[in-house]
Amino acid sequence: MKKAETQHDIMNRLSSPSLKKEDIVPILKMGTREEMNILQSLAMKIKQERVGRIVYFRGLVEFSNLCRKNCFYCGLRKENKGVNRFRLSEEEILHAAAFAHEKRYGSLVLQSGENQSEEHIDFICRVVEQIKSKYDLGITLSCGEQSEDTYRRFFESGAHRYLLRIETSSPELYGKWHPEDGKHRFETRLNCLKSLKKVGFQVGSGSMIGVPYQTYEDIAGDILFLRDMEVDMMGIGPFIEHSGTPFYRSEAYSIPREERLKVTLTMIAVLRILLKDVNIASTTAMQALDKFGREKGLLFGANVIMPNLTPTIRRKDYLLYENKPCLDEDAFLCNNCLEARIASVGETIGYGQWGDPLHFFRRINHSSSPS
């Protein structure tokens, strides 16, 4: 990339109808303060114009760590025998929902390991129905791959958003990150995203940054994938090692740990510039790498934060990665600390609003707005 790439140059590159990975890679590799400032102000201009400087809260309830999968990067993988497996009771989840309601968070995210048992699916439907009958909260589920029928049951019970990261848009890389046992198939993941859209969910997806074997070209491919899949919500974040996984101390890095936050911020900015009215989360993994990682994410174009409402005693058992922040903070303290942090970067919290992604309404109306 030329040294003095201007906002105009970046905009021109990203607006090209024939945008290719090679056009995105140099932006992802930008590193000087001047370049980052240019990218940031462009992303913030578009954020202000298209979604406003409002941050929506989704209270995150990590309600079960039981998982049938063995993703090579994740601390909850089935073969990690060091994990105390749990599922919260309905009462515990409802208690977290009551807190979200009281604090006027607007939405909840219920996340778990992947469990396809009938009993677990019934449990989720029951909990969602109960929350919806008591509180005016938007509900997002993030419970992995399920059949289309199951997704429909989730939707009919009242959940209206679903998060399923593709993890990587490269089938080849996907193969290197997962065991070849028939349970971890790129095609299945892709079909799940299609089913979720078909059922009517607002769909979130995304990828990790800095997983072994991944290159800048792969990340550029993820950006194009999210654009082409017409995803409404983005959740991207740095990969962080967990000692109970095969990817702990891997030698196969091309994006070192100290680069991962910067590349995540750059990717958030590119997604905001390119996709404009999507919701983008500033993820907890960013905060694990930098105390102010999530605030930085907001300043590069993100507009959603997921405060953790998992009961404090269970948080240490839900470690997708190590060094997860706020393990001992209770939700009340986290809430106070977050408010101050968000105000300090000049953003407003969208209290009491669901904060649905505007992109979704545009997508279902089939009206492609210009620009």
Site residues (vs ligand SF4, CB under 6 A): 67, 69, 71, 74, 76-77, 113-114, 144, 320
If binding is defined by CB under 6 A, does position 164 make contact with ligand SAH?
A: yes
Q: How far is the CB of 188 from ligand SF4 (least distance, A)?
A: 12
| Residue 141 binding partner per list ligand SF4, ligand SAH, none, with a CB distance cut-off of 5 to 8 Å that depends on partner kind | none
| Nearer to ligand SF4 among residue 47 and residue 77 (C-beta) | 77
Interface with ligand SAH, residue 285, by CB under 6 A? yes
Burial 334-354 (b: 16+ CB within 10 A, else e): bbeebeebbeeeebebbeeeb
Q: By CB under 6 A, tell whether 273 contacts ligand SAH.
A: no
Say how far apart CA 314 and CA 232 lie, in whole Å. Answer: 30
Residue 26 Cβ, how far from ligand SF4 at the closest point, in Å?
31
Tell me which residues in 131-160 interact with ligand SAH (CB under 6 A). 142, 144
CB 122, min distance to ligand SAH, A: 18
Q: Counting contacts by CB under 6 A, is residue 193 touching ligand SAH? A: no
Which of 59, 113, 311, 355 touches ligand SAH (CB under 6 A)?
113
Cβ proximity to ligand SAH: between 47 and 186 the closer is: 186
77's contact among ligand SAH, ligand SF4, none, with CB below 5 to 8 A by partner kind, is: ligand SF4
According to CB under 6 A, which one of 13, 165, 197, 296 is a site residue for ligand SAH? 165
| Ramachandran angles phi, psi of 106, nearest 5° | 90, -45
Closest distance between ligand SF4 and the C-beta of residue 107, in Å?
Answer: 21
Contact partner at residue 355 from ligand SAH, ligand SF4, none, CB < 5 to 8 Å by partner kind? none
Does residue 28 belong to the site contacting ligand SAH (CB under 6 A)? Answer: no
C-alpha closest to that of 237 among 257, 265, 218, 279: 265
Closer of 70 and 335 to ligand SF4 (Cβ): 70
Segment interacting with ligand SAH, rule: CB under 6 A, options 17-25, 147-155, 232-240, 255-263 = 232-240
Please, what is the angle between helix 90-102 and helix 118-134, to 10°?
Answer: 30
Q: Output 113 or 311, the one with its CB closest to ligand SF4.
A: 113
Interacting residues toward ligand SAH by CB under 6 A: 73-74, 111, 113-114, 142, 144, 164-165, 167, 208, 237, 239-240, 242, 285, 320-321
